[in-house]
Amino acid sequence: MRSLCLALAFACTPLASQPPGWEVVSVKPNHSNSPESNLDSAPGGRTTATNITIRELIRLAYTVKDYQIEHAPGWVDTDRFDINGKNTSGKNTSLDDEKALIRTLLTDRFHLVVRRETRQRPVYLLVVGKDGPKLTPHNDGTGSGTRKTCGQLKGTRLTMDTIATVLSRQLDRDVLNQTNLPGKYDFQLDWTPDSGPCSDDAPVRPAFVTAIQQQLGLKLEAGKGPAEYLIVEHIERPTEN
């Protein structure tokens, strides 16, 4: 017997795997007054968030920065929640699946409705300084990462596109890579935050933008580029359970 696909003259293609949903999830207010929060994936398909704000969840779920989120009510920054859930797969999830789970949570429990809007906005263009780059090439091994502490940023085995993205997290603008530098690099950047030295005995260091030029041999130039905004059209506080 011919397959149904052939009988109906359809091309048979495998179905794309569907991301897991929530088997069970609880959302409860956190009144600890702690400034710290975390979001973790645990064995068995569990996801836990402690003392987390809704703005933090929106940033992760939609891969946006704070300035890209508009028309959100003030409580998305002040109200904090504990979230404990288990997904239907019973397995650890990828980052993309984790984002999809959080989007589902925001939609189902907070009734979040958003739309995306693209606009031109000021950006920084990352270019090579007049004396050339001062990055360390890293072409061996696997894996890459960053580590940030107060006034210090370290990167290992990063492309220039990734370095531009990492630098943008410390600024109020996107950073677009226009260095034309291939390969992967290590770097360390030391600066004094705008809020002041990290400790009473901290050494004198330049401002962030100056440090990029002096220590990395790169330069930020003002420009314009497209930026996507996430417009919050509706959101509600959840009922506790």
SS3 content of the chain, % helix, strand, coil (to 5): 20, 35, 40
User: How is the chain split into domains, by residue range?
Assistant: 20-110, 120-227
* pLDDT value, residue 240: 66
User: Both ends of the chain: CA-CA distance in Å?
Assistant: 53
Per-residue pLDDT of the chain (241 residues), as tens digits, is: 444 443 444 444 444 457 789 999 999 999 998 888 888 877 888 999 999 999 999 998 998 888 899 999 999 999 999 999 999 988 877 778 888 999 999 999 999 999 999 999 899 999 999 999 999 998 777 677 888 889 999 999 999 999 998 999 888 788 999 999 999 999 999 999 988 999 888 898 999 999 999 999 999 999 998 888 999 999 999 976 6
Q: How far is the CA of 87 from the CAs of 41, 52, 63, 82, in angstroms?
A: 10, 19, 21, 16
Instruction: Report which of 57, 157, 152 is spatially closest to residue 98, judged by C-alpha positions.
Output: 57
* pLDDT value, residue 172: 76
Please tell me whether residue 141 adopts helix, strand or coil conformation: coil
Q: Token digits for 18?
A: 């569907």
